[in-house]
Structure 1
């Protein structure tokens, strides 16, 4: 009975946070000539992180942040992300012919995902991480990596904590970073199509932050930006799975054994 009541508290809390975040909406902050878009998703995570601090986690909030609720949330998080794939497909369809003409560029883009291992893994080991480094450097820690790590190790493992930490950090700071870097790159002369493609790194929040910033900079290219970003996102989510399984995982396993002796 207690667990059912606790779950109802969690459900009510989630709906309230979503409503508050949507009410705040997308907020644009202008820093010089750069426009930074703060999405409702960022506000939702900030609210739940702040309320999860020990000073607030008392009484009613203690029931919401119970061990059972946290375990339930981490276990079923992946199912909430599945409708995103359907949305990407709907955005890509109207401009599929134009996108197919430059399809090979999207495929080459996937090789760049190995950079998180080549650069990130040695730094993570240097900072003292061990099994957590496996989850936090396999990729950008988005839906694909989250699904793989949760299936192979579970989210309660060291690897799971690593990928979840990166997921939250990426949602908060990755979105802000892409919102800033996209218009800066456009101002230096990069084409809007190339930047729209680069927006689809496998993260819905990062893609939205980047594409929103580009649309704010070039509103007349809104349809092109959305289509290219969604196509890149869709292919990254699809092809990125195979890149991760057949290239990233073996490379990471080899490098981890090389850098951390004695840890199987």
Structure 2
């Protein structure tokens, strides 16, 4: 076993320990209360140590190209226990979830928001083919797989989806852990926010639902079960929504907005 890999495992354990010792922190912004979870601290610490300025000595070995590649390749395997936990959270509330199942199905249309809202903004910012990969979805595994199969990751579309994937990985959990309780403070129903937590990203869903559960502990089991059900449904139906709705819509909008850019959206 290479030393760099051993250092990587040790760094993960150290970061987890530090984050758990920090614990859950509550920040007050006027009338809005934001709960910051250990997950957010772990992401922040990992990001700081990954800054080139700090990558010296042992940190350089930890953040080597081999370790980064290994971590990205086996991330889905690491997430499997979390997926099993989703199923355990859903089971106790399965009757309640099935009784409003149509709402979960309807929310899948929200996945089109990245195309409807993001694509025009990306075009305005000067992106062209990169916008196809960057706005097809949240840039998680489903979009990454589709773009890599159709265009390859070495293409402009591939660079677009990879950029969003990395941004979501680095900042997604932090953003959702702040945004969810902010909406709760504005008066949004906690069950609706729990359902909307399942956006297709395990880390984002966990951050959002956990902060909501911390804000409303008496409904924590319901919040976690709704979020988990939404996440499972998004992971399953999100692919079909992307292929049969998002892709055709994106092609039409791209060609319309770029006026003759149809050769870029094949």
Q: What TM-score does the superposition give when structure 2 sets the normalisation length?
A: 0.83
In the other structure, the counterpart of 2:165 is 163
Compared CA separation, residues 221 and 161, structure 1 to 2 (3 A): closer
Instruction: Provide the aligned C-alpha RMSD in A.
Output: 2.7
Alignment partners' CA distance in 2, 1:141 and 1:167: 10
Identify the residue that residue 129 of structure 1 maps to in structure 2: 127
Deviation at 1:150, TM superposition (A): 5.8
Deviations 1:149-204, CA, capped at 9 Å, x for gaps: 56663599413233222332322223321231123233xxx4x4333322322333
Is the contact between residue 213 and residue 223 of structure 2 (CA under 8 Å) also seen in structure 1?
A: yes
SS in 2 for 1:35: strand
Alignment of 1:49-68 (within 5 A): 49-68=47-66
Does 1:263 find its partner at 2:261?
no
> CA 1:169 to 1:217, structure 2 compared with 1: closer, same or farther past 3 Å?
closer
What residue number does 1:71 align with? 69
For these two proteins, the number of residue pairs brought into alignment is 258
* Mapping 1:1-264, distance limit 5 Å: 4-146=2-144, 148-149=146-147, 153-154=152-153, 157-158=158-159, 159-186=161-188, 190=189, 192-260=190-258, 261=261, 262-263=263-264
Tell me the secondary structure at the aligned position of residue 41 of structure 1: helix
Q: Structure 1: how far apart are the matches of 2:54 and 2:245?
A: 44
Per-residue deviation, 1:256:
3.5
Indicate conservation of the 8 Å contact 1:179/1:213, yes or no: yes
Structure 2 residue ranges without an equivalent (≥5):
none
Aligned partners of 2:205, 2:185: CA distance in 1, in Å?
13
Q: Is this contact kept in 2: 1:106–1:235, CA < 8 A?
A: yes
1:249 alignment partner, SS class: helix
TM-score in terms of structure 1 length: 0.84
Change (3 A) 1:132 1:50: farther
